[in-house]
Amino acid sequence: TKKQSRQLSAEEIREIEHEKTHYPYTQAVGLEALKIVQKHQGWVSDESLLAVAEYLDIPVADLEGVATFFNMIFRRPVGKNVICLCDSVACWMLGCDDLKAQITSRLGIEYGETTEDGEFTLLPVPCLGACDKAPVLMVGRETHRHVDPENLDQLLNELQ
């Protein structure tokens, strides 16, 4: 069955229109529009992606490409706290695999999974640009540097 787009909310449209004033080409607003939708909906469903493509009058495939390229655009429902664990080389050398194992054993989720209570999603992400402070993870907009088993435990306590 063919997917239908959904109606963008007035608020989403208002924010997208505002972004448009910053960009010379409508095409360039695509990523910002996806971020706006994600801010309001938590993630970008197919219906939302179609709605944005229609609204901006850009090809769905182009927008899909943007969404795929920027891995902070979630194309599946995510938990309230999205833990993005850097698994690039510096973080890997300094033990991100152990941190991942710690999260998996404590929360029972693997990469790409969400806890049943909808609280946490765990995702691997490429270098977050703080290699000298590895290992690094992000929860929401917060970056956590020099993560170790103790402060990871503490962080999860605070979030839970």
Looking at 22-95, list the stretches that DSSP marks H as alpha helix, in order from N- to C-terminal side.
Answer: 30-41, 46-56, 60-69, 89-93
Please state the closest distance from residue 155 (CB atom) to ligand FES, in A.
Answer: 17
Residue 2's contacts (CB-CB under 8 Å, 6 or more residues apart) are none
> If we measure between CA atoms, which residue out of 84, 83, 74 comes closest to residue 125?
84
Torsion of CA 109, 113, 115, 116, to 10 degrees: -120
Is 22 or 141 the residue whose CB approaches ligand FES more closely?
141
Please state the closest distance from residue 103 (CB atom) to ligand FES, in A.
Answer: 16
Assess 155 for contact with ligand FES (CB under 6 A).
no
Assess 89 for contact with ligand FES (CB under 6 A).
yes
Using CB under 6 A as the binding rule, the residues of this chain from 25 to 84 that contact ligand FES are none
Residues in contact with ligand FES by CB under 6 A are 86, 88-91, 127-131, 134, 136
